[in-house]
Amino acid sequence: MRRRHHYGTTGSRIHVDLRVRLDTPGTLFLRDPRAEPDAASLAVNEVKMGDIVQTDATSVKLLVEIAAPAPIHKVTLHNGAQLIETLRPFGDSELGERFRVTWAGAEYRGRGRETTWNGRARFHGRRILRFEKFNAWNRERLFEQRGSDTVIWESITTGNFVGFDVWLAGDDGEIEITTNHGNLSAALSEIGCEECTLNAGGLERRLDICRLPEENRHRAFEFSREIELNEVGDNPLWISATTEDGHCLWTSPVYLIEARR
């Protein structure tokens, strides 16, 4: 725990392993050398989440392994606050007639951060075969399918996300979403696994639409990436991930630090 070899989830028992491989040995510190200048250290070629390592490398290899009890939706790679890449365990060839609508965010940090979402999604020219919602914790609030082509909701987010999936029949068609934070419409044929987004101000307040496989069977995901490091400053590399049932995880970073001055 003191060396940060751990990660957090919203409750789901997800396994994740994150490691960084160095081409030339770096110096691993057992304590933060900026707080404890005499911290013990050793030479290493590979480190894991939470480690503090000094390196002169311009790039490193990031290795990630995830296993989850629910299908994996996406993984994001970060260098500090910078988003490097978004990855998904499935490709465009696996996408079906299943669409996901998600809304998220808050007014601001602290008390009073609740955001109310009142919305309607209508699928023009298509028919809903199946409707499933996720993270809908306020069961007393309206959230249901109306007729054969419409979903309506009254919802609250406080930094989390809520949404639903629909499986559609028919060809072509358009989705039209109206909410109290703005409207969004798009041709369904143009929606892929990359989100079509309505930015709604506040604190990361947004509404997204994307397409998913009819059935996502990917509960395990392994990948590696060559990461270019920033020339100035430290490089805290970490990942976050979401699963289709609405759970998330965040790893502790691997802290790649500059030489001590």
Q: Tokens for 202?
A: 């506040």
Topology (CATH) of 92-213: Immunoglobulin-like (2.60.40)
Contact 171, 123 (CB under 8 A): no
Distance of CA 12 to the CA centre of its chain: 14
Q: Could you read off the pLDDT tens digit of each residue along the chain, which spans 261 residues?
A: 989 999 999 999 999 999 999 999 999 999 999 899 999 999 999 999 999 999 999 999 999 999 999 999 999 999 999 999 999 999 999 999 999 999 999 998 888 899 999 999 999 999 999 999 999 998 899 999 999 999 999 999 999 999 999 999 999 999 999 999 999 999 999 999 999 999 999 999 999 999 999 999 999 999 999 999 998 899 999 999 999 999 999 999 999 998 654
CA distance 138 to 72: 24
User: Is 0.95 surpassed by the pTM of this model?
Assistant: no
Q: What is the pLDDT, as a whole number, of residue 58?
A: 93
Please count the other Cβ atoms lying within 10 Å of the Cβ belonging to residue 207. 26
CATH 2.60.40.10-classified regions of the chain: 7-87+218-257
Query: What letter would DSSP give residue 189?
Result: G
The helix (H) or strand (E) run that includes residue 15 is strand 15-29
Contact 155, 143 (CB under 8 A): yes
Q: What is the pLDDT, as a whole number, of residue 112?
A: 84
CA distance 244 to 102: 11
Phi, psi of 260 (to 5 degrees): -65, 140
CA distance 163 to 151: 11
Contact 7, 49 (CB under 8 A): yes
Class of domain 7-87+218-257: mainly beta
Query: Counting beta carbons within 10 angstroms of the beta carbon of residue 62, is it exposed (0 to 12), middle (13 to 18) or buried (19 or more)?
Result: buried
